Structure 1
Amino acid sequence: MKQELRIGFLPLTDCAVLVAALERGFFEKYGLHVTLQREVSWANIRDRVAFGELDAAHMLAPMPLAATLGIDGLGIPMQAAFSLGLNGSAITVASPLMEAIRQHYPQALCTSPVRSHGLKHLLSAQTPRKLVFGCVYPFSQHHYLLQAWLQDGGLVLGQDVEIRVIPPQQMVESLAQGQIDGYCAGEPWNQQAVSRGIGQVAVTSYDLWNNGPEKVLGVTQAWAEANPETHQALLCALLEAAHWLEEPHNRVRIAELLTRPEYLDVPLALIQPPLLGRYRYAPDEPERLLPDFNVFARYAANFPWHSHGAYFLAQMHATGQLATLPADPVALLAKVYCTPLYRLAAETLSLPYPTVDYLSSVHCLAPWVLRDASQPIAMGNSYVALERLRLG
């Protein structure tokens, strides 16, 4: 008898691992009958997992940690034993603002990654007004990248700029209606703004922290403890799906599936190019090659690194979300990011896995090999562009 599971997701390209596991039969292979349920916001996903309406979900990587710390408004402990991938988001700015920067402060666009100094100059030169940027959820890599990027350019949060929480699929329309000046979100919502001519990508997560964390599979700790065999089957199915997605021809196939109304419901032209490493920053610019824009399995992408969790703790503290750091962060991170469960699933599939929980450095300028592993694992560069992001 197959185990029935309800898994929630938001309409973002990086739900591809879940879609591949369902559509390519990996869930079925491991005795799971899965229903994927499209949700309306990250807060909705949090609530439905917390109260048992969903068994598991596509979650922002810091969400299980925030839940376990009790700072998310609910305080129901959660865990993650699987990362759904690396990279995949960007900061988009309204086209009129970007054009004003190009006209008056072109030097602000000459750095790589593009910095936000031009926005500060515009505010100083014109009648002062507060900019408004959208962010998908307070406890998200998007929030930390966006804050760091804005502050790097001299913008003062609360004084020069306000950050509002908006579901990712509502960002483009909010930008079109002039409710926000920009946003940080995952794809395909940046490419949609570019295709409509209403927004231009200032910088991607790939530019700010290449191979940085993004999403995880989140469950409550109570569910994980009550369903250990089902949890392991779920991890094995997702591991196979993630590795299937690293083949270019399979990315073409998953892009076609993601266009369906029950998944992303957007044109193929907005989904496929970034999945294949081709990315458009502005309507009148050619695509740029970003081969690692979406990483689904390479570079130990599915491992729930405790070092990523330590970074989230530092960002929560630095941004005022967490008043004091926990007395025993090592024990907390071991509770939330469950590396032994991942290793068991990888060993079941004869896949290599890290034998350490922490990466010694997240600032590597060239590809390298992780030797603290069951077998050596090729790792990509993971440079961190802004000093504010190097906490933890």
Structure 2
Amino acid sequence: MHNDNIQTLQLGYMPLIDCAPLVAAVRLRLDRKHGLRLQLQRQASWAAVRDKLLSGELDAAHALAGMVYGIETGIGGPKADMAILLTLNQNGQAIVLSPALATALEQGRPLRELLAALPRRPVFAQTFPTGTHAMWLYYWLAAQGVDPMTAIHGITLPPPQMPAALARGELDGYCAGEPWSAQAEALGAGCRVVRSGQIWPGHPEKVLACRREFAALQPDIATALTAALLEACRWLDVPANRREAVAWLADPDVIGLPAEQIAACLLPSDSDSDDADADAEQDLHFHADGRVNFPWLSDGRWFLHQFRRWGWLQSADRNADDALVANVHRTDTYREAAQRVGVPVPAGGTRRSVLFDGHRWD
């Protein structure tokens, strides 16, 4: 604790559109309002985010929701007790294919046949083995009859490296957060074929994650941090405010791509389609009166269900799942922070969702 009674925290983030709440919290001095000084640390990969969270170099981080459950269960890496303080955004990711595959898919040819006709096993990239991008990619492939565990070669790449790898022909497609699908299109390296909000409208994406020890042993600081980020998310759901945030994200030290590309991903779409409500539900959201930010227990159960689907978790104990999710999701901390900043909270801890293949989840 410093003499000025301000607690300094180290927060990690990846150069993605949805790191905006962290950047806004600092730019607007919302951290100082809640007695904190947030020092943002850009990271090179999600594995680096994980490792620095676990070592204590980072107090908290902008993190893939699925990554948190992967660490909690010890799938493919270190196992540790984790906490989710709030969800930072919904939607805002995309799957990109090479131009040839995207064109053939648009012409109505089945993806399964297209991939089988390639001269080698198709290569698809995601950003972390148990992360959200892997989950959206695998779910989308499986819905079209492509087994992501056997029919493709899946690799992990940091999102900024994906467009160039696609341009070099090393990849046939990938799933990543914006602006990295927009960058592939800007380079002519690939085409965005489905947005993640089309796969699961309103899906959880990035979360504010920390070690469970931090959340449990420093509850006042965890609540203050949650409140500051919750205010930043609320601010970002105002279109005029997002226009101000474009320049912050375009800064070379944050994302470092042209402001026009940032704006195309960050600003709400002005849809004049026949199904404007559905389009809006699929857009990038940071707040929506708190519906985005509440750490829904049912969202956590969905990820565990997918881990079992792909053979990474063997047990199928609903009570164990409930206990795990209740430990990870710090709903009490969230409710206290939300009350502090005047954000409504739901009565229960679960919600109902419908995915693009008609599957219902609650």
Is the TM-score greater than 0.5?
Answer: yes
Summarize deviations over 1:44-85 as a string: whole Å, max 9, x none.
101100010100001111222222222251111110021001
Residue 271 of structure 1 and its aligned partner are, at CA, apart by 1.0
SS at match of 1:169: helix
Q: Which runs of 5+ in 2 are unaligned?
A: 272-277
1:385 is aligned with what amino acid?
Answer: F
Q: 2:70 corresponds to which residue? A: 66
Aligned residues, how many?
A: 349
1:318 is aligned with what amino acid?
Answer: R
Task: Give me the whole-angstrom Cα distance separating, in 2, the residues matched to 1:321 and 1:269.
Answer: 40
Residue 391 of structure 1 and its aligned partner are, at CA, apart by 6.0
- Of 109, 113, 116, 1:121 maps to 113
8 Å CA contact 1:64–1:77 kept in 2: the answer is no
2:357 is aligned with what amino acid?
Answer: L
Residue 99 of structure 1 and its aligned partner are, at CA, apart by 2.8
Residue 162 of structure 1 and its aligned partner are, at CA, apart by 1.3
8 Å CA contact 2:7–2:37 kept in 1: the answer is yes
Q: 1:385 corresponds to which residue? A: 356
SS at match of 1:317: helix
Summarize deviations over 1:296-320 as a string: whole Å, max 9, x none.
0006100000000110110111011
Q: 1:371 corresponds to which residue? A: none
1:386 is aligned with what amino acid?
Answer: D
Task: Give me the whole-angstrom Cα distance separating, in 2, the residues matched to 1:17 and 1:80.
Answer: 15
> In the superposition, relative to structure 1, how do residues 127 and 340 fare at CA in structure 2: closer, same or farther (>3 Å)?
closer
Alignment TM-score, normalising by the size of structure 2: 0.92
Q: 1:362 corresponds to which residue? A: 353
SS at match of 1:328: helix
> In the superposition, relative to structure 1, how do residues 200 and 4 fare at CA in structure 2: closer, same or farther (>3 Å)?
same
Task: Give me the whole-angstrom Cα distance separating, in 1, the residues matched to 2:83 and 2:150.
Answer: 36
Alignment of 1:164-203 (within 5 A): 164-203=155-194
Task: Give me the whole-angstrom Cα distance separating, in 2, the residues matched to 1:225 and 1:340.
Answer: 11
Task: Give me the whole-angstrom Cα distance separating, in 2, the residues matched to 1:197 and 1:18.
Answer: 31
Q: 1:286 corresponds to which residue? A: none
Residue 328 of structure 1 and its aligned partner are, at CA, apart by 2.1
- Of 127, 131, 151, 1:140 maps to 131
> In the superposition, relative to structure 1, how do residues 390 and 145 fare at CA in structure 2: closer, same or farther (>3 Å)?
farther
8 Å CA contact 1:135–1:166 kept in 2: the answer is yes
Q: 2:108 corresponds to which residue? A: 107
**In the alignment, does 2:47 pair up with 1:43?**
yes
1:107 is aligned with what amino acid?
Answer: G
SS at match of 2:108: helix
Alignment TM-score, normalising by the size of structure 1: 0.85
Residue 276 of structure 1 and its aligned partner are, at CA, apart by 1.8
- Of 90, 95, 98, 1:94 maps to 98
How large is the RMSD of aligned CA atoms in angstroms? 1.9
Q: 1:294 corresponds to which residue? A: 284
Summarize deviations over 1:217-270 as a string: whole Å, max 9, x none.
000011112211111110110111111111111000111110001110001111
- Of 305, 308, 324, 1:314 maps to 305
**In the alignment, does 2:347 pair up with 1:347?**
no
